[in-house]
Amino acid sequence: MKLTFIGNGNMAKALIEGLVKNYEIEVFGRNRATLNTLKETIPQITVKTIDETEEMSGKNIILCVKPYSLLELSPKLTGEANAVYSVLAGTSIESLKSHIRAKKYIRTMPNLGASHLKSMTTITGDIELKESALSIFNEIGRSLWLSSENELDIATGVAGSGPAYLALVAEALADGAVQQGIKRLDAQILVQGLFDGFAPLIANDNPALIKDAVMSPGGTTAAGYAALERGNVRSAMMDAIGDAYAKAKELKEKN
């Protein structure tokens, strides 16, 4: 299958690196120099700057521009594409339909893990494209089909924003270690190792069971855990998902 990327920034590069072994790839961008650099890094692809108009009939488009670029870009795209797979944050399928003509539409939300081919990507849209969308986005990590855009907006607050929340946890744990007298670099190594070992644990177990396995009666974990409860960390995390969802809905109305 041939895929047509529009945009050649960070997200496009991550996807192309994952997809190039199994798909024919052409990339449309607006900057000849960055397109040439991409072609030098991944010679199998073809690259092209977008002219006044570009015929999109029958193409399978992976839309990788910033949401605000749609307005400038869309008048240049003519014809009816076969499919649009969009990675644009906060841009509804209704909005995509008003900008680019296609038979079918998919909306996705990859996350920063894509840069290491470890994205947690959520996907929704025309059910006929479910299998092809999952195979495309499984190339940059793990992907999950959701049954509505509403669910995707909720999931965005978890997987999309999640790296920022986990970075806060990582930084705070390291700061706590430094506060108690551990060197900064050692604190960083401790936290990196912790996250590394936690990934397979959380992939295989319910979080409550992991917590119970570590927390012995009257022990150190129980003491630390009680401090987190006093700080309302659990409730703040739940509020973070609620507030991110509210913001996602607000942004979707604007786009």
Q: By CB under 6 A, is residue 81 in contact with ligand NAP?
A: no
**Among the residue ranges 84-92, 130-138, 233-241, 246-254, the one whose residues contact ligand NAP (CB under 6 A):** 84-92
User: 69 or 188: whose CB is closer to ligand NAP?
Assistant: 69
Q: 12 to each of 2, 9, 170, 208, 212, how far by Cα in Å?
A: 15, 5, 28, 37, 41
Torsion angle (degrees, nearest 10) of CA 15, 18, 21, 25 = 0
Backbone phi and psi for residue 118, each to the nearest 5 degrees, phi listed first? -130, 35
Task: Determine the number of helices (DSSP H) and then strands (DSSP E) in the chain.
Answer: 11, 10
Binding flag, residue 88, ligand NAP (CB under 6 A)? yes
Q: Write the DSSP symbol of residue 218.
A: T
Q: Is 87 in the site for ligand NAP (CB under 6 A)?
A: yes
Query: Is 82 a residue that touches ligand NAP (CB under 6 A)?
Result: no
| 109 φ, ψ (degrees, to nearest 5) | -135, 90
Greatest distance between any 2 Cα atoms in the chain? 70
Q: Which residues pair with 104 in a beta bridge?
A: 83
Stretch that binds ligand NAP, among 39-47, 97-105, 108-116, 179-187 (CB under 6 A): 108-116
Q: How far is the CB of 124 from ligand NAP (least distance, A)?
A: 14
Closer of 75 and 224 to ligand NAP (Cβ): 75
Q: Is 29 in the site for ligand NAP (CB under 6 A)?
A: yes
- Of 104-112, 211-219, 224-232, 245-253, the segment contacting ligand NAP by CB under 6 A is 104-112
Torsion of CA 171, 112, 124, 196, to 10 degrees: -60
Segment near ligand NAP (CB under 6 A), from 86-94, 142-150, 171-179, 235-243?
A: 86-94
By CB under 6 A, name the binding residues for ligand NAP: 6-12, 29-31, 34, 50, 64-67, 69, 72-73, 87-89, 109-112, 160
